[in-house]
């Protein structure tokens, strides 16, 4: 599956809905793709978040000034890291654009992905932490714009079933709404057509697991 593919295939859609799955394959496939991208925006996730990248790719992040770097960009979109390349954590602490001041990876004992047991559950990392070990060459990320480059594979090795189900059911609801005469050309995820109880439950679970956390008010 490519990084920007839909989170449900036409075969999964028809298998889940049976004789309710009316319409042309090409139209449904396009709508599953639209709904996948809309769901990401709703949850503040980067495009292709739940798919796996087929090759190593680099992503740039602002340094946090702390020992932990949450994998979110300046728009607040989340990323998740499957594997980190050798020397794939590169720091540009002097802002000369070279990213060669520190080059680290998970073979360095003071570098680890978070959640710390994610790999054991076939889940990706959503943050990188620098541990304060005596051998550590770096214990905090510089608080500098664009100072961290991470190279590795991104996304989930398999799309979580709850995401596939959610995309299927919401796509079906919106298709049914259009047949019934909804006023929009193609409704937004949470547009004029209400979420049905099962779809709402799926969305609330997805929001609980992967949605953007609310900032504490101080």
* Integer Cα distance of 183 and 166 in angstroms: 23
| pLDDT computed for residue 194 by the predictor | 78
Q: Which residues pair with 89 in a beta bridge?
A: 104, 150
Tens of each residue's pLDDT in the chain, 218 residues:
677 899 999 999 999 988 777 888 999 999 999 999 999 999 999 999 999 988 999 999 999 999 999 999 999 999 999 999 999 999 999 999 999 999 999 999 999 999 999 989 999 999 999 999 999 999 999 999 999 999 999 999 999 999 999 999 999 988 887 655 544 444 556 666 778 888 999 999 999 999 977 544 33
Query: Do the Cβ atoms of 84 and 104 come closer than 8 Å?
Result: no
- pLDDT at 177 (0 to 100): 74
Rounded CA gap, 89 and 102, in Å?
Answer: 8
Q: Give CA separation, 97 vs 60, 101, 216, in Å.
A: 11, 10, 34
Q: Please, which residues bridge with residue 70 across strands?
A: 127
- Hey, what are 37's tokens? 């991208």
Quick one: pLDDT at residue 218?
31
3-state class of 54 per DSSP? coil
The closest alpha carbon to 63, from 150, 131, 134, belongs to 150
């Amino acid at each position: 599956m490519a990084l920007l593919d839909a989170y449900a295939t036409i075969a999964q859609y028809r298998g889940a809905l049976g004789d309710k799955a009316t319409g042309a394959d090409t139209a449904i496939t396009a709508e599953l793709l639209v709904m996948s991208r809309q769901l990401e925006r709703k949850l503040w996730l980067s495009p292709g978040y739940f798919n796996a990248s087929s090759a190593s790719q680099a992503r740039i992040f602002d340094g946090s000034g702390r020992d932990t770097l949450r994998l979110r960009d300046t728009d607040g979109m989340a990323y998740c890291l499957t594997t980190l390349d050798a020397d794939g954590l590169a720091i540009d602490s002097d802002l000369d654009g070279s990213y060669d001041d520190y080059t680290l990876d998970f073979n360095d004992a003071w570098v680890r992905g978070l959640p710390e047991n994610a790999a054991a559950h076939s889940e990706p990392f959503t943050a990188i932490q620098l541990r304060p070990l005596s051998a550590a060459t770096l214990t905090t990320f510089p608080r500098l714009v664009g100072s961290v480059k991470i190279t590795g594979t991104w996304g989930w090795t398999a799309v979580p079933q709850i995401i596939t189900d959610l995309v299927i059911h919401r796509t079906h609801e919106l298709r049914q709404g259009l047949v019934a005469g909804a006023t929009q050309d193609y409704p937004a995820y949470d547009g004029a057509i209400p979420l049905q109880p099962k779809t709402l439950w799926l969305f609330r679970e997805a929001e609980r697991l992967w949605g953007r956390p609310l900032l504490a008010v101080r």
